[in-house]
A and B are shown apart, each in its own frame.
Chain A
Amino acid sequence: MSAGVGVDLENLWIRFGDFVAVRDANVNINGGDFFSFLGPSGCGKTTILRAVSGFLDPSEGRVLIGGKDMLGIGPNKRPTALIFQNLALFPLMKVWENITFSMEIKGASAAQRRKRADELLDMIALPGQGDKLPSELSGGQRQRVAIARALCAEPDVLLLDEPLSALDLKLRQHMRTELREIQQRVGITFIYITHDQGEALTMSDNIAVMRDGVIDQIATGKTIYNDPNTAFAASFVGENNVFRGKIKQVMGTEAMIATNRSGDLVARISTANQGKMKEGDDAMLFIRPEALAIAPDGATGDHYVTARVKHEEFEGNVFNIFTQGDGGKEIKVSIPNHGQSFQDHTGQSITLEYETQNAVLVPAGELAAE
């Protein structure tokens, strides 16, 4: 797998006038990786993609593909292929002409192109559809044609700009699996842009979480989910409950914070912040809904929270309990459905417990918008 071509961003800055779209990005993407840039819209992830594909020049810093500086090399000369958000298939060309456009440029004969198109159509499970126009295909089929068109150019790096965002939910979930399979089959580097954390988590080897032009964390999906660096990463990736407070005591890799409403709580300090957080600092403690459980009444201590239940809902695989939390924010608790009888707590006060290692502490910071 590591045979693929890697991409490196070194101290990359991109400015549009006074606006800084990308601020000092340093990313090493291994060859053959499925790498995602994850962030809300306007965070600069598409700008990074355009800098890699060559449509934008860095204001500062370098973009390296396979260790080679790409400065001054145009998008038509880079070993990258880009899949656009709206796919940008050529509407007047037939599907097979679309797919083999890159071969046409290199002067391949019609017979060669036709043969290659048929191979790729088989791969994307659209055999015999080559003579249709893109407008005669469904959304998911067009999606696959766009992938085939990009792969036909035999790029070292495939860049994908939120290509699934236009599809409906079912198809989107299906295409996730399919994209991942294609990536593993062809073995080239995929760089994927998305604001959908589900897409990023299910497909990627590594994820960069971005906010306002800054990369907050680069790690595997699992690490980002379990061990976020910042309040933004913790709140943007997956659902999370936040408790704010001041650090009362640091105990090695753990610390206790004093909250206004829920008393003193203990949590693990996230790996990147260990040794950097000290007493008196503003901190945020995050506990995932599934890491909370209902404790016996009257239990107290530094990993118990008492809260009043506002409402409950049944989602099938889980029961969700919403309680009044700090600062008006709800605390969400997800209890797995094992077929047990479930008592309605609405209006009651309940005690919640968590294991210290499942709660993570980061410096106070900006949260992701809901």
Chain B
Amino acid sequence: MPKFLKEFFNRNGTGMGLAILGLVLFWTIGLIILPQLSMLDFSFRPNLPPPEIGGPKDVYTLENYKYLIYGPEGGSQDYNAVDLRVFFRTLIAAVCVTIFNLIICYPIAYYLGQSKGSHIRIFAIMLIIPYWINEILRAFALRIIFGETGVLNTLFVGLGIFDTPFDFIRNDIALYAGLGYAYILLMIFPIYNVIESLDHNQIEAARDLGAPWWRIHWRVVIPYAKPGISSGCTMVFMLSAGALAAPQILGGPSSLWFTQLIYQQFNDNNDWPQGAAYAIVLLVTCILFVLAVMRLFKVNMGDIGK
């Protein structure tokens, strides 16, 4: 038995230890790994009517993956331009949402982490409470704000800043705002956690040595907060690339999110293998992308857990 397991059983007793271990294994294997493996299996099979499943036609194939790249066989185009464009647009948009979120959340997290007093608690509660409202309602609330006859347009037209209402939804501003807002806490709290433990004397020392505020952040605060920043960015990127409700409700008519394509395959086309292949491509691409960025910024896997 490895040492950590022995210690684990010594600390918790054999009965309790087995129970905890069992639950954790059930959670990771039964609820996460096995369903994903079954999705992986689906993605390599043809979409067959139920009687033919397990029959001679049920063989492993790369058809579903080829479809994303080349489109339907005998189609008019060489590549599946529509789906590929949606795929890359989703990734780029998720990167933008992440950066946008980081820019907004870093100052908030810094303020929360470095100031003292009970108002910080109130501030944190004010950030958390809106998340009691479910995602759909929050998305529709943003529609009310950004709609053609919505709050913002009424205000801007009323003030004479715009002549005609601006279509926030068609221009995807509502979508970005919605995605950004949906994951703000996931960005703020990891950064806040790290910055809270930063010794304020270090900031003062840098200032005393002549550093202007931006350099203090660049050389002292941001390097220290890097684990929190990478943790927050990873979560926001993964979740916005995989978001469904916000794009569905706030997206313009012409701008599909890749998750919507996956949803269509599963639900509208009833083509689970195709949907599974799309979902796997999105998952693997996101993971590889995150790993590459982590390597670029010299972030360790252990830092993400901070």
Contacts and interface: CB of A to CB of B under 8 A. Distances in A.
Contacts of B204: 55, 75, 82, 84, 88
Interface residues of A, number: 27
A149 interface: yes
A3 interface: no
A101 B206 contact: yes
A193 to B, nearest CB: 14
A227 B66 CA distance: 95
Nearest to A97: B219
A77 B211 CA distance: 9
Nearest to A86: B201
Interface string A76-114: 110011101110111111000000011011100000000
Interface string B204-226: 11111111100100011001100
A230 interface: no
B205 A84 contact: yes
Interface in A183-224: none
Contact of A76 (B208, B219, B224): B208
Contact of A149 (B199, B207, B209, B211): B209
A230 to B, nearest CB: 33
Contacts of B223: 92
Contacts of A93: 219
Q: For chain A, what secondary structure do more than half of its interface residues adopt (helix, strand, loop), or is it mixed?
A: loop
A101 B201 contact: no
Contacts, number: 59
Nearest to B209: A102
Contacts of A91: 224
- Interface size class on chain B is 10 to 19
B202 interface: yes
B216 to A, nearest CB: 9
A53 to B, nearest CB: 6
A153 interface: yes
B220 A90 contact: yes
A101 B211 contact: yes
B219 A75 contact: no
A90 B219 contact: yes
B201 A88 contact: yes
B306 to A, nearest CB: 14
Contacts of B219: 90, 93, 101, 104
A105 B199 contact: no
Given A90-B219, A92-B223, A82 B211 contact: no
B261 to A, nearest CB: 43
A81 B199 contact: no
Contacts of B201: 84-86, 88
Given A92-B224, A105-B215, A81 B209 contact: yes
B223 to A, nearest CB: 5
Given A86-B199, A88-B199, A106 B205 contact: no
A80 B207 CA distance: 11
A161 to B, nearest CB: 9
24 contacts: A55-B204, A55-B208, A74-B207, A75-B207, A77-B210, A81-B208, A81-B209, A82-B208, A86-B201, A88-B201, A88-B204, A88-B205, A90-B202, A93-B219, A101-B206, A101-B211, A101-B219, A102-B209, A102-B210, A105-B209, A105-B211, A105-B212, A153-B209, A153-B210
Interface of A: 53-55, 74-77, 80-82, 84-86, 88-93, 101-102, 104-106, 149-150, 153
Given A85-B201, A105-B210, 8 more contacts: A55-B204, A75-B208, A76-B211, A80-B208, A88-B199, A105-B212, A149-B209, A150-B209
